[in-house]
Chains A and B, each alone.
Chain A
């Protein structure tokens, strides 16, 4: 079945450090890939997405590239800020053209804490 695996956290960084959160997905079909973020006390928000191989999603300084050959969608940011402290979820949709109506399969989440 469809699954998503994220690197285990928590991740603790100093401000301005480089961030990578690894995400891999099962290689069935041609899903869309997403990173969602959950700030303390708030709901899930879409951070970025990519809908086909080699697409790069980007937002707020975060980037992730859809790598079909390695079935990965790693999240990166060159210089993190204290305000980036949150829980980050990698997710995949059901296969394009399938009958699963776009339901999302999420990874377990990675807690990021950024210290001043």
Chain B
């Protein structure tokens, strides 16, 4: 078990471009979360998947954002027509359905997005 991985670790793009990030959760973790963290703040919830189903989306997730988890394993987060306000660290976390573990989420290293 190598933990949650995210790719790329850093992304610099120009305003108006589309970007896509990938998250590979811990194998057999059927719950996957995306969060966004801006400088000096704690992570904020964006969206959640249980297996391949997207079950909740935050109001922070505008219609320029879309997330998928087509086979219930890895997930992608796409941002269309990026804006400078999208610059942030995008974090992925996964969790086992076993509630005896007390809701612990395991976080990846994040993808740092800079929009110029």
Residue numbers of A with Cβ under 8 A of B are 4, 32, 34, 36, 42-46, 49, 51, 89, 91, 93, 100-109
Set of chain B residues within 8 Å of A46, measured between Cβ atoms:
104-106
Compute how far the CA of A102 lies from the CA of B102 in the bound complex, rounded to whole angstroms: 10
Q: Let me know if A101 and B107 touch, CB within 8 A.
A: no
Interface string of B45-63 (1 = CB under 8 A from A): 1001010000110000000
Compute how far the CA of A78 lies from the CA of B63 in the bound complex, rounded to whole angstroms: 48
Which A residue sits closest to B58, measured CB to CB? A103
Set of chain A residues within 8 Å of B42, measured between Cβ atoms:
4, 89, 91, 106-109
Number of A-B contacts (CB under 8 A): 62
Set of chain A residues within 8 Å of B31, measured between Cβ atoms:
101-102
Compute how far the CA of A46 lies from the CA of B4 in the bound complex, rounded to whole angstroms: 13
Compute how far the CA of A82 lies from the CA of B108 in the bound complex, rounded to whole angstroms: 25
Compute how far the CA of A34 lies from the CA of B101 in the bound complex, rounded to whole angstroms: 12
- Asked whether A51 and B41 contact (CB < 8 A) given A44-B91, A101-B50, the answer is no
